[in-house]
């Protein structure tokens, strides 16, 4: 049985092709299977963000392709690509994830509205998700009234709402204190464990790296180490 969620082949991204070419990514091959909890680490400028943008269909590779569950997203354009992202990929960015004029609850609901989900389903799922990230009592608060860590938890809930194939998080804890960072990681790990949600996150933070089950290290746009994935919890039993 094929559990591959992402198959990235020969990913190369060159900036400033015409002057001095910068290889932000250099022939990266990567397989992500369902249920992974994977960290991408590496020094600043090593290509973490570039790689995540490729996997999320936000940026086009100069060479190579990304295949997600059998769809070559490198060939998708315009609205098709946007729709694909909406329905298949959850995003958590470093900060300012949320629409400032919508409440936590509305921010989560908004993405399901984009999916044209019926109202009853949306409302039920919003409540469910807010409970999962422990923010049910903050449902009516706007991002400005939430702490950085709470905002990131709402962002995770929103990423989860459309039931994506996987969630990409580019340095989700970079702006958080260690307690909030630990909290966020707890929630992500719980979702990974209980809902088999696949997470791929980039980070500088060793404590975050320690929580990952697979760690990919980038340097100068190349994968220099990739720890063997630990056996998946759900395949044991």
Partner 1 sequence: MIAKLTWRNLWRNRRRTLITMSSVTFAVFLAILMQSFQKGIFDNLVNNVVSFYYGYIQVHKQGYWNEQVLDNSFFYDDSLVMKLSGNPDIKGITPRIETFLLASVGNTTKGCMLVGTDPVKENLLTGLEAKIVEGKYFTNNEQAVLIAEGLAGKLKLSVDDTIILFGQGYHGAMAAAKYPVRGIVHFGSPALNDGLLYLPLTQAQFFLSAENMLTSLAVGIHEPEKMPAIQQQLLSVMGKSYEVMNWKELMPDIANHIKADGSSFYIFTGILYLIIAFGIFGTILMMTAERQYEFGMLIAIGMKKISLGKMLLFETLLITLLGVILGLLISLPFVFYFDKTPLRITGKMAEAYERFGFEALFPAAVNSSIFITQSLIVLVIAFLIGLYPLWHVSTINPVLAMKK
Q: Which spans of this chain sit near ligand ATP (rule: CB under 6 A)?
A: 15-16, 22, 24, 42, 44-50
Stretch that binds partner 1, among 4-12, 31-39, 82-90, 175-183 (CB under 8 A): 82-90
Stretch that binds partner 1, among 25-33, 86-94, 133-141, 182-190 (CB under 8 A): 86-94
For residue 63, the cross-strand partners are 12
* Of the candidate residues 38, 46, 49, 180, the single one contacting Mg ion (CB under 5 A): 49
The 3-state DSSP class for residue 20 equals: coil
139 contact choice in Mg ion, partner 1, ligand ATP, none (CB below 5 to 8 Å, kind-dependent): none
Name, in order, each residue with C-beta under 8 angstroms of 130's C-beta and a sequence gap of 6 or more.
Answer: 104, 105, 108, 136, 138, 139, 157
Q: Please give the helix or strand (H or E) that residue 157 lies within, else none.
A: helix 148-160
> Minimum distance from CB of 47 to ligand ATP (Å)?
4
Name, in order, each residue with C-beta under 8 angstroms of 111's C-beta and a sequence gap of 6 or more.
Answer: 86, 158, 161, 162
Q: Please give the helix or strand (H or E) that residue 32 lies within, else none.
A: strand 22-33
Cα(first)–Cα(last) distance of the chain, in Å? 17
- Interacting residues with partner 1 between 40 and 59 (CB under 8 A): 53, 56, 58-59
Interface with partner 1 (CB under 8 A): 53, 56, 58-59, 79, 82-83, 85-87, 91, 93, 96-97, 99-102, 106, 109-111, 113-115, 158-159, 162
């Amino acid at each position: 049985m094929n559990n591959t969620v992402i198959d990235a082949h020969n990913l190369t991204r060159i900036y400033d092709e015409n002057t001095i070419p910068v290889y932000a990514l250099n022939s990266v091959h990567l397989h992500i299977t369902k249920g992974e909890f994977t960290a991408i680490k590496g020094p600043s400028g090593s290509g973490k963000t570039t790689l995540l943008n490729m996997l999320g269909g936000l940026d086009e590779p100069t060479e190579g392709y990304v295949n997600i569950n059998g769809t070559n997203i490198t060939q998708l354009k315009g609205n098709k690509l946007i729709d694909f992202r909406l329905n298949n990929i959850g995003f958590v960015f470093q900060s300012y994830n949320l629409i400032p004029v919508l409440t936590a609850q509305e921010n989560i609901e908004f993405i399901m509205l984009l999916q044209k989900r019926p109202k009853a389903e949306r409302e039920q799922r919003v409540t469910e998700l807010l409970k999962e990230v422990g923010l049910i009592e903050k449902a009516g608060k706007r991002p400005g009234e939430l702490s950085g860590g709470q905002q990131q938890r709402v962002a995770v809930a929103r990423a989860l709402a459309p039931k994506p194939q996987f969630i990409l998080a580019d340095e989700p804890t970079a702006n958080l204190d260690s307690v909030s960072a630990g909290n966020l990681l707890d929630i992500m790990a719980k979702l990974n464990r209980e809902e088999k949600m696949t997470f791929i996150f980039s980070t500088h933070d060793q404590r975050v790296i320690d929580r990952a089950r697979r760690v990919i290290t980038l340097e100068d746009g190349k994968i220099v180490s990739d720890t063997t994935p630990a056996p998946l919890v759900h395949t044991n039993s």
